[in-house]
Every structure is written in structure tokens, then in C-alpha cells.
Amino acid sequence: MRKAIKKVVAAGLAMSMLVLATGCGSSAEETTAAATEAAAEEAADTEAAAEGEATEAAEDGALPGEGVTVALISDVAGTQVFVLDMIAGLEAAAEKYGFDVVIAECPDAAAYEDNARAVLEEGADLIIGGSWQAGDAINKLATEFPDRADYALVDSTVEAENVKCIAFREQEGAYLIGKIAGMVTDDDAELFGAIHVSQGPSSFKWRWGYMEGVKSEKPDAKFVFNYVGDYNDPAKAKEYAIQQFEQGCQFINSAAAGGDKGTFEAALENGFYTSGQDVDLTDPENPYIVTSQIKDTYATMVYLMDQYFGDWNTENETLGIAEGAIGAVYVTHESENPRTDRLTDEDIALLKETADKIASKEIDLSVVPAEETYEY
């Protein structure tokens, strides 16, 4: 792990949209996850090692992160809970370890490389790409300047061996959402909907897991998908949701990022069931949001920084239900909001058992088929 030479002042990065976060942590929703014993022990070992270094440094009068700058290159946060939770997790880690944080929000694809080069020039010790869009920029800098900084990428993988890549098994959480969809709909429900940002391999992981989960309850189910083509288009998501409802969908899985609120509005107005993404988006004012698929970027960022100040390595990792990073509200993660009465205690017990089977790979969702080979 490289030690900091100097602290970064964000105002000096004129070419980037940078905000200096001083480590005053912002709170994130506490979650509980079903995890295997081995994964729990590994996490405990990592935490213990990190805590040990922190304690040793504290005895010397300094936190281990003092003088270290960590830069996060991400999409514009706005209302994107994926990014907001990542920032909150990084700030929580900064409070624990004492490092400085730079957040570089990128309004377009070109800004990722510009911002990455800017924070590198300003002396960042660890540069984290906070989405798949950052992959090209992180890969390029890690290849050109392997000794200038440490590098990490969340939600994708790249070829450079000196980049710590963390991906997710989103299909595991999507399977639980699909199973819930099959449980809360009528016995004669045949058509199930979903609204996504875009179509492609990364989207298909979610769609495939969702379809497999629905089929575990209703083997003859059929599906309809629409793609809004944008990370923040509630109007189009709502339009598609209404169309799917009029075709006969009693459940519409919303994976449209900022567009999800359009789906939720349509659900409340028309009376179909739906689900959110990334964090707990259930709402006591909207009983039709029956669950949310969890993709816990807060916990992921804390996990990454514990490694950085503990046993740092650049081996790629893929996190899922077993590691507590993926799941579903009311199953692997609790909620303060009331659960729909369409999900009985018996249903929840079966869903928890299903989550355990996914974690242990008794239900093995690790290999996603090619979309062109999958019939739906």
C-alpha cells in the first residue's frame, strides 16, 4: 500500500467536478444479511486485521489513514442510491481510518478519464472507479502509471492486474425478487413485467435471475421487458409500466435507476405490485412496493477500505448473498416499513431457506447463460 505524500485540495482540480469530503460520515441504513459461516469468518478476520492496524496506529497518536487520499470517480450522484450509498460508505470508512476523500462526479463518459487523470496528478493514493463506466479510465491509468497509485473498480472488471475489481452476482437477488413476484400475484398470473435502463449482458444477469425466480413459483410464466435508455427518466418508466399493466402484468420489477419512481407512481395508481433496486425503497405510503433488491454499495465500500488498510491485494472478487452484498428486503435484509400481507410468514420462511440455498450454491446461479440461448 502506497503512503500519501501530500493531501489533496479539491479546489485545485479545475478540470474536474470535484468535491472534497472531510470524512464526516453520513448515515446509511443498517442491514442484516444471510451469509455462510465461512464468509462470516473471513469478514471477521478482515475486520480484525483492520481494527488491529487502527489500534496500533492510534497508540502512536495517529490513525492509519492520516496523510492518505482516496478518490472516488463516479456517475453524478443526484438521486442514484447506488452512488449515494457508495459515497456514504467511503465517508464512514474515512471517519474510521482518517484518510481524506475526493469525490469526482462525472457528467459524461469523457469526464471519467479527465477526472481520473486529475486526481492522479494531485497525488491520490487510491483511485476507485465507482461503476462500470469508469472501467476504461481506471484500466488505462493503471496500465500507464502502475506505481503512481493503487487502483480499484466497483461493479465491473478490467484486464489490468494491478486493479482490485469487485463485481456482484446481481442475479441472486433478482431470483428472490422473481420468487416474491410469483408469491404475491394471483394463482392464474401468467405475464410478468420488468423495466430496465438498457438491454445487454449486465442487464441480462438481473433479467435472467428474475425470470428463474418467477418460474420457481409459476413454471409457465411469460415475460415482457422495456428499456428506458436513461438512468433518470421516471416519465418513460411510468409509461412503460402502465403499458405492461394493461397487457396483464400483475407484477413489474423496476430496475430503471432514477426512473423507478415512475414505476412506483404507476403501481400506486393502477394497483399492480412492484419492487425497487439497490436499497430499501419500500414505502408505507405505497403498499404495492412489496420488496427491493439489495445491492449494498455502502457495505462494499467499507469492505474495500478495510482491505486497503488491512491485507490489501488486487485479486478480483464477486460478491453475492453469501457475502451480504446482494439480497432482498424482508428476506436477507430487514426493513422498518410494514411488510405486505401478500407475503405470509410461511412465504418469508421459504424465501430465507431459498437465500441460504443460493448462498451455499445448492441453488447455483453463478453461471449466467447467453441471452440468445435462453427461452422466455
Run means of pLDDT, 10 residues per run, the chain, 376 residues: 36 38 37 43 54 52 90 86 90 97 92 96 97 94 97 95 96 98 97 94 92 98 96 94 98 93 98 94 96 93 95 95 94 95 96 98 95 89
Distance in angstroms (rounded) separating the CA atoms of residues 73 and 275: 28
Beta bridge partners of 329: 333
- Cell numbers 485540495 correspond to what residue? 9
Are 209 and 255 in contact, with CB atoms under 8 Å apart? no
Distances, alpha carbon 280 to alpha carbons 161, 224, 296, 328, in Å? 34, 24, 10, 8
Distance in angstroms (rounded) separating the CA atoms of residues 97 and 90: 10
- The ranges assigned to domains in the chain are 10-168+297-319, 170-295+344-373
Pull the grid cell for residue 203.
Answer: 442487464
**CATH code, 170-295+344-373:** 3.40.50.2300
- Residue (of 326, 349, 286) closest to 177 by Cα position: 326
Q: Give the pLDDT score at 204.
A: 95
Topology, domain 10-168+297-319:
Rossmann fold (3.40.50)
As a three-state string, the secondary structure of the chain is CCCCCCCCCHHHCCCCCEEEECCCCCCCCCCCCCCCHHHHHHHHHHHHHHHHHHHHHHHCCCCCCCCCEEEEEEECCCCCHHHHHHHHHHHHHHHHHCCEEEEEEECCHHHHHHHHHHHHHCCCCEEEECCHHHHHHHHHHHHHCCCCCEEEEECCCCCCCCEEEEEECHHHHHHHHHHHHHHHCCCCCCEEEEEECCCCHHHHHHHHHHHHHHHHHCCCCEEEEEECCCCCCHHHHHHHHHHHHHHCCCEEEEECHHHHHHHHHHHHHHCCEEEEEECCCCECCECCEEEEEEECHHHHHHHHHHHHCCCCCCCCEEECCCCCCEEEECCCECCCCCCCCCCCHHHHHHHHHHHHHHHCCCCCCCCCCCHHHCCC
pTM of structure:
0.77
Distance in angstroms (rounded) separating the CA atoms of residues 354 and 214: 13
Distance in angstroms (rounded) separating the CA atoms of residues 292 and 295: 9
